[in-house]
Structure 1
């Protein structure tokens, strides 16, 4: 599967500038397209013409697909989602309080923001910016999620997965800021958490996923991707609704069903999921499975779904 062009969702103040400049140096200016809005001098002429002047995103995306190896911009996932396989979508996330403070400093310094830091936190347009940028796709389907606080390590993992040689750069920092992390009062942290619950959930998830992907790649194991899908309240504890796949293979994932750690059944994640098809996840959307618990499963027993190739426990539930 061809990974290129890559679609880099540049979330503000997550080390994205360092990454996009390093990517441009690696891929070359002619193969790098930027979309930072109609008023930005960095936005590529093809995008200015087709996206902003003619308002024909299809033709803009056609130019990108035909000419670029890397697209970057302060855009959200849905903008170019129809034109990219999720494996080709990459981003970085940052600890939410640090991202918000850095964004506040940037906005005050360069965009004339006059409010206080607490004012900034309370504005909905600045809340949950990281999760908003990725809205519309299953998080585990995204090709690569780097961690700002583990930037060098992230670049190493990125290069390993995409077979690239992007260098570690460190640019666009606030030079007036003392070294180290921003510090916060208890009131500030409380307010940040209240306004950004989705970003905190995303960051916690991204840290776990980063370590999992690093471990799988280091062992030469398939990088499996998976997640739970919506389930009616009445069905919770009685069945699992899930998706899973590996971008590097055409075969459906197979898994064992464990009941109290004993193998009792097996399944294949090969059923159609409309959202998977719409977002070009993999296998034309045939990546799902509903597993209804047999009548022999008793209340309180633990159900696990273990992927066969990696022996990874993808899902865990308690029978109710």
Structure 2
């Protein structure tokens, strides 16, 4: 996912191009908000923007340093950024680079997350690169329905990043090392807890939502839980 950088930041980067590092920590950042796809991350980003203003929330995505951030490397950040939100993995270096930041992440039932992800890709089709990946990796016969795609992914682990999302995400930093872990299944309750933990008054918002039918797991998919037991072991206590 690419991110539209605020014009104000473009000017700041030209005037002050220095990056942040362990030797020059970014102490103003209060929250490292890790967005695992299809776990209500888009709603959370908007909630942060409404609470603090868009200029204080910096999106860390493919075009703004997500890869480097995931490796614990230096990236450029606005001097007044209070929340970093995006698709970046946790790294041990972050505790030194962002000494005052709480690590926050949201999780969701692994099968439901995968079902929602596939529904999202089917809705966007070629507009999303991961849909193109589905077409490249899956047998044509599996692309006939939402259900057959999910079955193929789970039973054959055709795209490891889709079915082992939590195993990959928490490979360097355990979920137990996060200051906050929210559940998509109790969003409002946990959002209040995040507000209390950070002192940022966040309001419940829902964006990027599909129809309720899209989220309803067929019984045949629910029966596949044992195939993702390793994923449930990681997030089960937080759901």
TM over 0.5: yes
Cα deviation, 1:214-271, whole Å, max 9, x if unaligned, reads xxxxxxxxxxxxxxxxxxxxxxxxxxxxxxxxxxxxxxxxxxxxxxxxxxxxxxxxxx
Counterpart-to-counterpart distance in 2, 1:80 and 1:119: 37
Rg larger in structure: 1
SS at match of 1:92: strand
Q: Does 1:70 align with 2:83?
A: yes
Task: Tell me the residue number matched to 1:24.
Answer: 49
Deviation of 1:203 after TM superposition, in Å, equals: 2.3
What is the count of residue pairs matched by the alignment?
189
| Higher RCO (C-alpha under 8 Å, 6+ residues apart) | 2
Task: Tell me the residue number matched to 1:107.
Answer: 121
Question: Relative to 1, partners in 2 of residues 1:59 and 1:147: Cα closer, same or farther, differing over 3 Å?
Answer: closer
Q: Contact 2:103–2:178 at 8 Å: present in 1 too?
A: yes
SS at match of 2:106: strand
Task: Tell me the residue number matched to 2:193.
Answer: 157
Counterpart-to-counterpart distance in 2, 1:86 and 1:149: 28
Counterpart-to-counterpart distance in 1, 2:87 and 2:198: 22
Query: Structure 1: 5+ residue runs without aligned partners?
Result: 208-320
Q: Does 1:203 align with 2:239?
A: no
Deviation of 1:92 after TM superposition, in Å, equals: 0.4
Deviation of 1:165 after TM superposition, in Å, equals: 0.4
Question: 1:14 pairs with 34, 39, 59, which one?
Answer: 39
Deviation of 1:130 after TM superposition, in Å, equals: 2.7
Q: Contact 2:92–2:173 at 8 Å: present in 1 too?
A: no
SS at match of 2:84: strand
Q: Contact 2:61–2:88 at 8 Å: present in 1 too?
A: yes
Query: Structure 2: 5+ residue runs without aligned partners?
Result: 1-26, 136-142, 144-148
Q: Contact 1:13–1:99 at 8 Å: present in 2 too?
A: yes
Q: Contact 1:86–1:141 at 8 Å: present in 2 too?
A: no
Counterpart-to-counterpart distance in 2, 1:96 and 1:128: 9
Question: Relative to 1, partners in 2 of residues 1:156 and 1:205: Cα closer, same or farther, differing over 3 Å?
Answer: same
Counterpart-to-counterpart distance in 1, 2:53 and 2:93: 21
Q: How does 1:170-319 map to 2 (within 5 A)?
A: 170-175=206-211, 177-178=212-213, 181-186=215-220, 188-194=221-227, 196-207=228-239
**Cα RMSD for the two superposed structures:** 3.0
Question: Relative to 1, partners in 2 of residues 1:119 and 1:71: Cα closer, same or farther, differing over 3 Å?
Answer: same
Cα deviation, 1:269-314, whole Å, max 9, x if unaligned, reads xxxxxxxxxxxxxxxxxxxxxxxxxxxxxxxxxxxxxxxxxxxxxx
Question: Relative to 1, partners in 2 of residues 1:51 and 1:125: Cα closer, same or farther, differing over 3 Å?
Answer: closer
Counterpart-to-counterpart distance in 2, 1:26 and 1:80: 28
Counterpart-to-counterpart distance in 1, 2:94 and 2:107: 19
Counterpart-to-counterpart distance in 2, 1:169 and 1:28: 15
